[in-house]
Chain A
Amino acid sequence: MKDTIPYIATTKKDLLEMLAEIGVREINDLYEAIPQSLRLNRELILPSPIEKIDLPLSEIELRGYMQDTSSRNKGTYTYFLGAGCYNHYTPSIVDLFLKLPQFYTPYTPYKPETNQGTLQAMYEYQTMMCRLTGLEVSNASLYDGATAMVEAAKMASRLTGRNEIVISKSIHPEYRQVFNTYFRYGDWNVIEVGIDNGKTDLKELEQKISEHTAAVIIQSPNFFGILEGMDYVADMVHKHSSLYINLVVEALSLALIKPTDFGADIVAGEAQSFGNHMSFGGPHLGFINCYSKHKSRLPGRIVTKTEDADGTTAYMLWGAAREQHISRDRATSNICSNHALNALAASIYLSWYGSKGLSELADIHNMQMAHYAYEKIHKITGYEATFRGNRFFNEFVVGCPHDVGTLNKKLLEYDIVGGLDLGRFYPEYKDRILFCITEKADQDDIDELADILEYLSKKGVE
C-alpha cells in the first residue's frame, strides 16, 4: 500500500486534525448516509493495459505507455481525407496559448470581475465569426457542427412557431444521423431532399417547402465539396417565411464566401478548421451566428461589452434568461459546458492569418490547389470526373477504378491517407472517392498522389 497519492496533499497528520475538528473517528463515519448493504466493500478492479505493471502507474510509466500508445497510431501520413474533419496547419502560437493555465483551467465566466480575459477573448471571437459570416450575433461556441445543426433547427422552430425542418441529403451523413437521432423525440417532421448532380435537388426542394416549414438547412460547401445556395434558394425559403440555415462544415470557405451575400438567416456549423487539431474527431468547435432580431432564441453563452462601476470597459455574459441555469425547462437549450477553449484557438488562428492571410490560405493553398489536383486526377483512367459543372472549394469527387477500401489500404504503403469511400455513406455512389486538399499537401504531394494512382490504375491494387 502506498502512503502518498499524486495530486493529494493531505498528510496523515492533516487528516487526523481535520477528523478531530469534524468530531468523527474515521473517514467512514462521514459516509454513514450510504446504506451499509449498498457500499462497495472492496477496492475497484481496474485491470492494467500494460503487461506486468499494475495500476497505479508512475508519471514515468504513464508517459512511456502513452507515448507507445500514440505511436501505435500512425499519424505521419499525407492526408487527402477531409469529409468534415480537416487537416489544416495549426500555428505554434495557438498551441502555446491553449496551454496557459489562465485559459485552460478556469470555469465558465459567470463572475465577470474575475474572468475578464475569458470574456474579452470570447467577445473578440464572436466579432470575428460575425465578420466572416456577415451576421450580427454569434454564440461563444457549441460542441460541434452536428449538434450546432440540431440547435439551429430548434432555434428556427421557436422563431417561426413551426415544427417542420427540411434538410438536404448533401449534408454530412453523420450530421444527418445526429439530427435524426434528436428529432425522433418530440413532435417533429423532418423532410429530406435528394441530390441532383452533387447538389440539393432544387425542384424537389421547391415542392417540399411549405407554410409549415420552419427552416431549410443546406450545407455549403456540401459533403461533396460543392458550393451550394448561391442561387435562388434563399428566395424559395423566404417566400414561405421560413428561415434559411446555411450549414458550414469547412469554415475556411468563409474566407471566400460570405453566407449573407446569399440570403442566409442563420449560419451554423463547425469551425474546427480554425486552429483546432483533427484529434481523431474531437473536441472541435460548433457555432451558430444569427441576426440580432433572433438573438433571444440563440442557444449557448453570449458575451456582451459593458462597463464597470468606474466606467472602465468590461465584459460579461448576456441573456442568462435563455439559459438552463435560470430558465430550466423553458431554456433555449440544455447546453452548459461548451467549447470555449476551441473558440479561443479560432480567435488566435484568425488573428494570426488576418484578412490577407486567410484569403490566401483559402484561395491558393486550398481551392486552387484542389482544382490542380482535380485536373490531374480526373484525367487518370478510371478516375472520371463526376458531378460536373459545379463550383467546389477544397474537396471533390471522382470515380475510382478500384474498390476504394482496397485502394486506400494500398495507399497507406506509400504513407498516404486516401480519400473517403463515398459508398460508405451513399450506396448509390459506390466506387466514387472524395478527395480533400489542404495547405498541408503541396504540389509535389499532389503530383506524387497522381503518379501513384496512375501506376495503380494500370497495375491494380490487389
Chain B
Amino acid sequence: MEKENVKLIFKESQEGRVAYSLPKTTIETKDWLGMCRRKDLDLPQVSERQIAGHYQNLAELNFCPYSEMDPLGSCTMKYNPPLMESIASLPGFLGLHPYQDESTIQGSLEAMYFLDLYLSEIAGMAKFTLQPSAGAHGESTGIMIGGAYFRHKGEKRSKVLAPDSAHGTNPASVANLGFEYEQVNSNERGWVDLADLEERMTEDVAIFMLTNPNTYGLFDPNIDKIAEIIHRKGGLLYYDGANLNAIMGKCRPGDLGFDIVHINLHKTFGTPHAMGGPGAGPTGVVEKLKDFLPVPTVEKKGEKYTLNYTVTHTIGKVKAFYGNIAVLKKAYAYILILGPEGLRKVSETAVVHANYMQEKLKKRGFEFPYGDQHCMHECVMRHENIDSLGHLLSERFKKLQATIHFPQAYFYMIEPTETETKESLDEYIESMIDADRALRDPKAMEELEKGRIYTPILKVNTRKGMARPCLIEKEENDASHDMTKLRERALRDC
C-alpha cells in the first residue's frame, strides 16, 4: 500500500461523480467529427466537495510565506498584500478581451500608461515595455533590443558578457539567442574585476549584463568605471533588476549608466510568486533604444489612451497580446499605495534588515566572506554543512530555507525583506544558532530530535527521483496505448 500524505485526485475518481453543471439546451446536434473524435478521455470524476478537500489538503502541505518569513536570497519574498489580489480580480479587469475596441479598455490602458511612467522614473529609463512575463523573458527582450540596435548601426557584435556571480538566467538568455556568452571574473571583494572586464570588453561585445547590487548582496562601487569601460567600446550596459529592492529612491540604474533594465515585479513590487509564477519582467530602455521596443506601446493622445503599433525599429513582439496584465495591475497598485517616500523606505528598511542579520550572525560566529562590507538587501554566509543546516531549519524549526549554494557552493544567501518584524528576524537568527549548534554537538541534536517534525515528509530521496523519473500517473485502465494502431484507424476512418 502506497503511503501518501494526500491521495492523488485520480484515486478519488469514481464513475458517476461530477462537480460541474451546464445549461440545458435543445440544440440539434450532429456528428461533426466522425471517427476523428477521440475515443478516450480519462480525467478525474469527482464531486466538488472532493475537489475542495483535495486542494485544501494540498495547500496545507506547503510552507506558506504568510506563516513564516521567507528569506530566499535573490527572490525578494516580501509580503503580498491581499488588497492587490482583490484589485486584480475586479470583473472589469478579469473579463476583458485583448482585441476589444479601444474605447472599451481605457481604464486598463491608463493603468499601463502610468505603470510605464512610474517604472521609467524609478529606473531612470526613457520608456518601458510591459510585455515580458518574467525576469528571464525581460532579459531575452533586452538582449534582442541590443541586437537590433547594433544591426541597425551596421555593427556585428556577437558576444555578451556577465560576471561569474550572475544569475543562471543571464548566460541562458544569451546562449538561447545565439550570442556567445563570456564570463567576467569577480575580484576577492565580490566586485567586477575591472582589469578582466577591460580585457574582455572588445568591439565584438554587444552587452555587459550586471546585477547591482550583485548576487553577493554588494553594491559594486566601481559602477561608474564599469559603465565607462563598456561605453568607451560602444557596448550597452544591461541591468538585471532582480535586486532593485535595495535601491529604490536611492539611485537609479539610468543614472548609473545602464542602457537597458528589466524589473522583476514579483520581487520588488510585491506581486506574489505564485509557486513559480506568473510574474512580470517589464523592460526599460534609454532614449536611443526607445524605437526598438516591442509593439504595441501604450501612448496618451489628448485624453485618450491608445495602443501604438508604429515603433520605427521595433524588434516585433515577445509575447502574444500585451503582457501579464493582472500582475501589472498589482504592481501599479503597490506603487500607488506606497508613493515616492514609501518606496524609498522599502529599500532602506530592506537594507537595514539584511545588515542587522549579517552583523548579529557574524557576532555569533557565522562566516560572512564579504562581511567586512555593508551589504545591501541580502547577505551571504558560508557554512561547511549548509545542506543539513537548511534542512534542519525547515524540519525542526519550521523555518523556510534561504537560497543555498548560490552564488557559490556552500553559500547561504539571506534576504529578509522590509516587511518582516525585528522579532521575526531575531527568531530566525536564534533558530540558525540552535540548528548550527545541533550540527556540532551530538547532545544538542539528540534533544532536537525528540521534538516535532514540521515538514510533512522526511528528506526526499532526490537521487532516486532523478534516476527514476515518474512524470505522470499512468491510467488505471490503460487499454489503448498502441499509438500507431490507433492512428492508423483514425486516418482510415476520417
Contacts and interface: CB of A to CB of B under 8 A. Distances in A.
Best-buried of B143, B320, B421 by chain A (most CB within 10 Å):
B320
Band of interface residues on A? 35 or more
B117 interface: yes
A306 B461 contact: yes
A132 B41 contact: yes
A379 interface: no
B413 interface: no
Contacts of B103: 412
Contact of A412 (B18, B77, B101): B101
A178 B274 contact: no
A306 B422 CA distance: 39
Contact of B472 (A127, A281, A307, A351): A127
A46 B83 contact: no
B320 A279 contact: no
Given A351-B9, A352-B19, A367-B32, A277 B94 contact: yes
A108 B275 contact: yes
B459 A185 contact: no
Interface string A128-155: 1011101011101101111100000010
Contacts of A333: 172, 176
Interface in B1-49: 2-6, 8-10, 13, 17-20, 22-23, 25-30, 32-33, 36-46, 48
Contacts of A141: 276-277
Contacts of B58: 116-118, 120-121
Contacts of A62: 83, 87, 333, 336-337
B187 interface: no
B375 to A, nearest CB: 8
Contacts of A363: 29
Contact of B461 (A283, A309, A342): A309
A430 interface: no
Contact of A337 (B136, B329, B336, B353): B136
A118 B41 CA distance: 25
Contacts of B346: 5, 7-8
Given A93-B52, A282-B322, A335-B136, A353 B36 contact: no
Contact of B462 (A100, A120, A306): A306
Contacts of A144: 133, 319-320
A105 to B, nearest CB: 4
A165 to B, nearest CB: 14
A23 B319 contact: no
Given A21-B359, A44-B248, A109-B276, A261 B353 contact: no
B278 A342 contact: yes
B308 interface: no
Contacts of A433: none
B105 to A, nearest CB: 5
Contacts of A7: 78-79, 81, 270, 338, 346, 418-419
Contact of B419 (A9, A67, A87, A113): A9
Nearest to B246: A31
Interface string B55-96: 110111111111000101001011111010111011111111
B403 to A, nearest CB: 8
B99 A143 contact: no
A366 B81 CA distance: 38
B127 interface: no
Interface stretch (A70-78, A210-218, A380-388, A451-459): A70-78
A262 B134 contact: no
Interface stretch (B251-259, B282-290, B431-439): B251-259
The 3 closest A-B pairs by CB, nearest first: A186-B178, A281-B321, A70-B92
21 contacts: A27-B352, A34-B250, A40-B250, A43-B341, A46-B339, A81-B100, A83-B99, A97-B59, A102-B59, A103-B274, A111-B394, A138-B471, A146-B320, A227-B36, A260-B487, A311-B3, A312-B4, A318-B471, A336-B169, A361-B20, A361-B22
